Amino acid sequence: MLSIFKDIQILYEDNHLLVVNKPVNMLMQGDATGDNDLLSIMKNYIKVTYNKPNEAYLGLVHRLDRVTGGVCVFAKTSKAASRLSNQIRLQEWKKTYFVITDNVPHIKEQKLVDYLYKDRKSNTSYVVSSQNKEAKKSLLKYKLLNTHKNHALINVDLITGRSHQIRVQFANAGMPLFGDHRYNKQVVRNTQIKLFAYELTLIHPTLKEEMTFQAPMPRHGLWREF
């Protein structure tokens, strides 16, 4: 585990926050697979770095899909965890993603509003009627940045944070994410989804100042074409 956390890029750290660049295809939290997860790795980082005698506290206040890389924030104190969670509840965080889609959008810039239902047994989300009592209103704004053949590089401002929200809404709009094996019916085998959490803005839990964190854009695969 020690050698693993040395490979995690730390974007910012103080007494209350730990912000890292989450690697693609890494779990946020441990599950039945037993694969390495970011929460355990960073807990070990704190324990070793600060010579903690017991297990270190680290609050998981938000999640990224396993297949998604980019900016990820942890709380190093329970006070920070509570305040950050409340900011998320009030939709005060500003989250910006970059995606590459199959198909180029006809409208270069717009707001997508859908109602999503999550099937927890299959861990799959669907766009459903607003009349569905279990559906959650889901909003995002996007802006087309560039195109390459039949692919588009798009900036996404995520307003709500539903499970698989960007992936489902873009697929429903006819421009599924490149490499999305769950929601893209034309996906090519052995391709990696192009979904990256580029920037996150929040209010520091104790300083009360707005802070923005960015992760360096990927430079491999289809990303290089943009």
Q: Is the pLDDT of residue 23 over 60?
A: yes
Quote the tokens at residue 193: 């989804």
Please determine, for residue 5, whether its predicted confidence score (pLDDT) is greater than 90.
no
Local confidence band at 21 (pLDDT 50, 70, 90 cut-offs): very high
pLDDT band, very low/low/confident/very high, at 211 (cuts 50, 70, 90): very high
Query: Per-residue pLDDT for 6 more than 80?
Result: no
What percent of the chain clears pLDDT 70, i.e. is strictly above it?
98
pLDDT digit string, tens, across residues 161-192: 999 999 999 999 999 999 999 999 989 888 99
Give the pLDDT confidence score for residue 33 in this predicted structure.
84
pLDDT tens by residue, 33-56: 888 899 999 999 999 999 988 888
Q: CB of 61 within 8 A of CB of 82?
A: no
> Tokens in use for 62?
């938000």
Model pLDDT, residue 4: 62
162, burial (CB in 10 Å: exposed 0-12, middle 13-18, buried 19+): buried
Q: What pLDDT score does 189 carry?
A: 87
Could you tell me the domains of the chain? 2-225 (3.30.2350.10)
Q: Which residues are registered as beta bridge partners of 95?
A: 158, 200
SS3 176: coil
Q: What is the mean pLDDT of the chain?
A: 94
How far is 146 from 218, CA to CA, in rounded Å? 16
pLDDT band per the 50, 70, 90 thresholds, residue 30: confident
The answer for residues whose C-beta is within 8 angstroms of residue 82's C-beta and 6 or more apart is none
* pLDDT, tens digit (0-9, with 9 covering 90-100), for 87-139: 999 999 999 999 999 999 999 999 999 999 999 999 999 999 999 999 999 99
pLDDT of residue 1: 45
